[in-house]
Amino acid sequence: MNSTHTAQLNATPSPSLVMRSDVEIYIQVVFLVIICIGSVLGNVFVVGIVIFDHKLHKPTYYFISSLATADFLVGAIYIPFYIMASLAQKWYLSLTWCKWNATFISVGLNASLVTLSLVSVDRYLAITDPLRYQTILTTMRSAVLLLVGWVHSIFWAFAPQLDWGEIVYQPKTSTCRPNWGAKGLANRVYTLGLALLPFGAPVICMMYCYCRIFFVARYHVREIKKNSVNTPGSDKIGQRAMETKALKTLLIVLGAFIVSWLPYTVLSVAKMISKGSWEFSSSTLNAVLTATLLNGCVNPVIYAIRDQRFCKAMKRVLCPLSWKDSQEFNSYLSSRRDTTKDSTAQNIEMGNINFAQES
């Protein structure tokens, strides 16, 4: 490691901005360990279930598998080194590996954002145009979209390694990151493109798709209630319950994303606008980075575990014998039912959640 690299690793700004108490460091490390374990095990589990259950070999679950793969990379490659750096309060390895580590997390986070937007588009098409959904989003087209998304993510992450953009060592987090306050026209163009394309475009796409999904689902709920036979009181209660469930799902999906990514976005934009002149404390930067990493641990729960079809697949893969017995029992009950049903059920699927109306 040459003298320039050594100087960068040993560079320390104002001690008041860098120093953190031992208690704060240990609390952060505990959170990081939980996030790391959750990101690795949770996302491996999701990919494994999709691979082994042929009923999930559909575009929706290919997107979810891609999301899990991206989050797994962050949890397996980046977080362990971040934990070591946080405990030591410095980067022990070479600056070269520090920069490559930053490249890997950029690939994972960029791919995660792009895939999240693809999931939202997939659900948007399924809700707004269900009759043509399977012809619009075929397996081949979904594979092409995923390939383009990963190439797009890798390009923006690897560009600084080819001298377009900068990756710098950040003493306050003891890790490397993109230099949002980089000088020079080429570097400024890179940071602007990094903010708009890998981040800005997927976020706008997600916001639009999920808001449209909510309004379409609410319209369908009202149409179903209008055409069903119910007492006036129960009709209003049922409609309100389903609309509340739809809103809850929307808030969970967007809320988790905003909580994880908004702080990092605000700080990055502030750094870019001020051309690096604005300084933030070490505690703030580490808290923001930890919150961003939390998204990879939460995604398997939001997009997979809460999915009814995924849960059924999970039971089929993990408990095949009990699932078979349950299916036979349900089959027996079905054969005993009258041909005339006493109740009607209508389902509206928004995202990965089914909204059922039962009268």
> Domain locations in the chain?
22-318
**CATH class, range 22-318:** mainly alpha
Strands 167-170 and 175-178, by their bridges, are: antiparallel
Tell me: pLDDT of 310 over 60. yes
Q: What number of other Cβ atoms are within 10 A of residue 74's Cβ? A: 28
Identify the three-state secondary structure at position 7.
Answer: helix
Q: Which of 76-90, 91-105, 235-249 has the lowest mean pLDDT?
A: 235-249
Which phi and psi (to 5°) does residue 180 adopt?
A: -70, -20
Q: Which long-range contacts (CB under 8 A, 24 or more apart) does 270-274 make?
A: 271/180, 271/181, 272/180, 272/181, 272/191, 272/192, 272/195, 274/181
- Give ∠ CA 313-317-318 in degrees, rounded to 5: 115
Is the Cβ–Cβ distance between 277 and 58 less than 8 Å?
A: no
Identify the three-state secondary structure at position 12.
Answer: coil
How is residue 288 written in tokens?
Answer: 């923001």
Q: Is the pTM of this model over 0.85?
A: no
Residue type, 85: A
Select the highest-mean-pLDDT range: 32-36, 175-179, 331-335: 32-36
Strands 353-358 and 345-350, by their bridges, are: antiparallel
Q: Which of 150-154, 206-210, 257-261 has the lowest mean pLDDT?
A: 257-261
Q: How confident is the model at residue 157 (pLDDT cuts 50, 70, 90)?
A: very high
Tell me: pLDDT of 274 over 90. no
Residue type, 231: T
Q: Where are the alpha helices (DSSP H) in the chain?
A: 3-10, 15-18, 22-52, 59-73, 79-88, 95-128, 133-136, 139-158, 185-194, 201-227, 232-273, 282-300, 308-318, 320-335
- Give ∠ CA 75-80-85 in degrees, rounded to 5: 135
Chain centre to alpha carbon of residue 37: 16
Q: What is the model's pLDDT at position 38?
A: 93
Chain centre to alpha carbon of residue 105: 14
